[in-house]
Amino acid sequence: MASAATPVNENRPAWLRDNHLFQAWLVLMLAIIFGTCLAAVHINLSDRIAENKLNESLERIPGLIWNEGQGGTSVDIVSGKIVVKKEDRTLYYPVFKVTDEGKLAGWVVKAAGQGYSGSIELLLGLNPAGDIISGLFILEQTETPGLGNKITFPDWLDQFPGQGTKAPLMVVKGGQTPPGAIDAITGATISSKSVVGIVNRAVSETRGLLTPEHIQFVERSQ
Amino acid sequence: MANLPTPLERFVQGILPENPVYRQFLGLCPTLAVTNGLKPALTMALAVGFVLLCANVIISLIRSLLKPHLRIVIFTLTIATFVTIVDRVLAAYMYQMSKTLGPYIPLIIVNCIIICRCEVCASRQSVTAAAADAVGQSIGFGLALVSIAVVREILGTGMLAGYQVLPDAWPDWVIMVLPPGAFLTFGLLMALVNWIDAIRTEKNTGRG
Amino acid sequence: MDYLFDIMLISITAALINNFVLYYFVGICPFIGVSRQVGMAVGMGSAVTFVMTVAVFLSWTITTLILVPGAPLSSWVAGFFMPAQKAATMDLTILTYIVYIFSIASSVQFVEMYVRRFYPSLYKTFGVFLPLITTNCAILFACLTVMSNIVGVESPEQAWDLGRALALGIFGGVGFTIAIVIMAGIREELDLCDVPRAFKGTAITLIVGGILAMAFMGFTGVDSGIRTAVMGTP
């Protein structure tokens, strides 16, 4: 292959043969072709990917506001974010405002925090006044399979709806749970405490801010 | 070029005799990382197969234009482009799966299998041979991934591809779906392959 | 204080809790291939740490300045060709993988030339491993982790700064070195043992790797423990 190509190169002037850019003409050409392909892929798929990302949360939201089967008739969800100013830093909570036939039905706050291994991301549903939890869903977690990942199971998450948010939720062990307390999962107390901690922090930091004035709403693209 | 294998030989070699995982020890990162379930393992094998096929065909088409010192740059550029395409297509049409596989899709770029096949086969042989080689190696890689994933998923969760196969009384061996299980399963399977191999060579030499 | 604490947690997580080799399975090829002698393992580990730091620095800079939507450099250049509003949302993230792999390859080249020219004794220690590192998944993985903490976050203010990225780069490399050196130590002893024939070579290395991974699982939860001890709440 190399021997076949050499005579052709010999005929070219020396300045052209020694030029690095000329030597790399194949690389440059491939780069242009591949760049065009990637641009086409990007134009065709980027909207769809962004939509997927948003839908992941949106799909869950009705279930966090209403119990099964009681969903509203014409639900509208608007997403935005709450800016929480603390003494030395600013925090952001993505938040979804859920309305049903134009009437406020509730709020869903996305919150994240440290679990036993890795971070936990969850969606917290609240009633319009923001004082009662209406639902909880774990979006992402990397807890130990078989122990910590029980935080994603409905029978544990079902303890949250109906709890008030006036006082922070407590974690208790041993099955008997008074109101305001959550039963820890056997063998995964830290994971349970992490989830309750994230919920408590999200509730206390967004307290009083769940009103349309405090939220920067994202404009819908269409 | 008479001593280079024919397309058919290339195809067969990839599946077992020159299996990329068990024989060449290539591409071990995905082999260990995504085999905690059958579905991610299959998706990974398909993604690697697609990238390998495209890269092999393109390199084989331009093989007479390649200059020795720019060869690796071109390989890398081609592979990285196709990996990006696979990554975006997965994110657009199989969002959950693309989240499960996470960084291991972009890590296909540095998967030694692909660059090794480009170097060994595609930059020397015709398009047919390169394509056959890519398909053979991908099947070999897929088989290796599936063999590990099946063991890990069944023992670790009692399920296969999400369906219950072992009785409910089975105590899930959680360790199998955690990182140590990957090393242990792969090590034991590799020992099994070595053992079968040793028995076969003994038989052959005994006969000969 | 908060910032330093954050850096410390990132470092501990990268080096021990989520060890690159034993938790994420990246850099398995050198972990099995170059772990026969402790000396070689140390050389390989330091080479990886060195290149990882340089590569993470490069990829952080490129991502923040050029690739991320609304990055200063790309929107400035795009401003010449299109209206400013459109230029500010210029999204080049589709190029990340290509840019990263080439920045890794060039930083390997650069490190090799630099070390050979100015530190010949250091070059003797790990110079031979440098070309191998380009296809080391651990480096690209570190770059990708940095990327996901810049591109994937909810708002630009949460993106990692250079300090956090470098902490991940350096301590990811340290974690790799720890794993490969422990492995080499065990394998040196293993040479004196009577290993069953079928397990000789890679198979027994993988089994040992599995036991090591189990040992490293013991670090899980250390970070949340430290957090609880320092902050008071989980």
pLDDT of amino acid C232:
64
- Distance (Å) from the C-alpha of residue C147 to the closest C-alpha of chain A? 17
Tokens 């952001």 correspond to what residue?
A92
- Residue in chain B lying closest to C22 (CA): B179
Which one of B44, B99, B110 makes the best mutation probe of the C interface by having the most chain C beta carbons within 10 Å?
B110
Q: How far apart are CA C88 and CA C78, in angstroms?
A: 8
pLDDT band at B208 (very low <50, low <70, confident <90, very high): very low
Q: How far apart are CA C48 and CA C14, in angstroms?
A: 14
Record: contact A38-C2, CB cut-off 8 A: no
Question: How large is the ipTM?
Answer: 0.85
pLDDT of amino acid B169:
80
- Residue in chain C lying closest to A189 (CA): C234
pLDDT of amino acid C185:
92
Residue C1: pLDDT above 80? no
Summarised one tens digit per residue, pLDDT across range C60-80 is: 999 988 888 878 888 888 888
Residues 6+ apart with CB under 8 A from A16: A22
Bridge-based pairing state of the strands A170-172 and A181-183: parallel
Record: contact A24-B89, CB cut-off 8 A: no
The helix or strand, by DSSP H or E, that contains position C178, with its residue range, turns out to be: helix C162-190
Q: How far apart are CA B31 and CA A216, in angstroms?
A: 45
Residue B33: pLDDT above 70? yes
On the 0-12 / 13-18 / 19+ scale of CB atoms within 10 A, B14 is buried
* C210 neighbourhood in chain B, CB within 8 Å: 180-184, 187
* Beta carbon pairs, A and C, within 8 Å: 42
The CA-CA-CA angle for residues B29, B35, B38, to 5°, reads: 145
pLDDT of amino acid A121:
87
Q: How far apart are CA B59 and CA A126, in angstroms?
A: 57
One digit per residue, the tens of pLDDT, for chain A of length 222 reads 344 444 444 566 666 666 677 777 888 888 899 999 988 988 888 888 888 888 888 888 877 777 655 666 677 778 788 887 776 667 788 888 888 777 788 888 888 888 887 788 888 888 888 788 888 888 888 887 777 888 888 888 888 888 887 888 888 887 677 777 888 887 788 888 888 888 888 888 887 777 777 777 775 543
Name the DSSP class of B6: P
Residue B51: pLDDT above 90? yes
- Distance (Å) from the C-alpha of residue C221 to the closest C-alpha of chain A? 5
Is the distance from CB of C53 to CB of C97 less than 8 angstroms?
no
- Considering only the beta carbons, identify the residue of C2, C91, C221 that sits closest to A117: C221
Which one of B51, B75, B107 makes the best mutation probe of the C interface by having the most chain C beta carbons within 10 Å?
B107
Residue C47: pLDDT above 70? yes
Q: How many CB atoms lie within 10 A of CB A132?
A: 16
C227 touching A (Cβ < 8 Å): yes
- Considering only the beta carbons, identify the residue of B84, B112, B194 that sits closest to C97: B84
pLDDT of amino acid A5:
43
pLDDT of amino acid C152:
74
**3-class DSSP state for residue C139?**
helix
Residue C88: pLDDT above 80? no
Extract the runs of DSSP E, i.e. beta strands, from C185-232.
none
Tokens 């993106």 correspond to what residue?
C159
Q: Which residue has the higher pLDDT, A143 or C58?
A: C58
Summarised one tens digit per residue, pLDDT across range C147-197 is: 888 887 766 677 888 999 999 999 999 999 999 999 999 999 888 888 888
**3-class DSSP state for residue B135?**
helix
Record: contact B66-A1, CB cut-off 8 A: yes
Bridge-based pairing state of the strands A133-140 and A119-126: antiparallel
Amino acid type, C192:
L
- Residue in chain A lying closest to C2 (CA): A88
Phi, psi of A56 (to 5 degrees): -55, -40
- Residue in chain A lying closest to B1 (CA): A1
Summarised one tens digit per residue, pLDDT across range C203-231 is: 888 999 999 999 998 888 787 778 778 77
Going from the C-alpha of B103 to that of each of A120, B77, C105, C159, the distances in angstroms are 18, 19, 19, 18
Amino acid type, C67:
L
Q: How far apart are CA C97 and CA C151, in angstroms?
A: 13
pLDDT of amino acid C170:
94
Q: How far apart are CA C234 and CA A198, in angstroms?
A: 8
Q: How many CB atoms lie within 10 A of CB C116?
A: 14
For chain A, the chains sharing at least 3 beta-carbon pairs closer than 8 angstroms are: B, C
**3-class DSSP state for residue C81?**
coil
> Which range is most confident: A15-24, A169-178, B140-149, B157-166?
B140-149
- Considering only the beta carbons, identify the residue of A26, A37, A146 that sits closest to B74: A26
Residue B198: pLDDT above 80? yes
C:14-33 residues touching chain A, CB 8 A cutoff: 17-18
Is the distance from CB of B21 to CB of B144 less than 8 angstroms?
yes
pLDDT of amino acid B87:
92
Chain C interface residues (partner B, CB cutoff 8 A)? 22-29, 32-33, 94-95, 97-98, 101-102, 105, 134-137, 140-141, 144-145, 148, 196-200, 202-207, 209-211, 213-214, 217
pLDDT of amino acid A222:
36
- Residue in chain C lying closest to A90 (CA): C157
Tell me which of A10-19, B66-75, B110-119, C212-221 is least confident. A10-19
pLDDT of amino acid C105:
87
Record: contact C224-A194, CB cut-off 8 A: yes
pLDDT of amino acid A98:
83
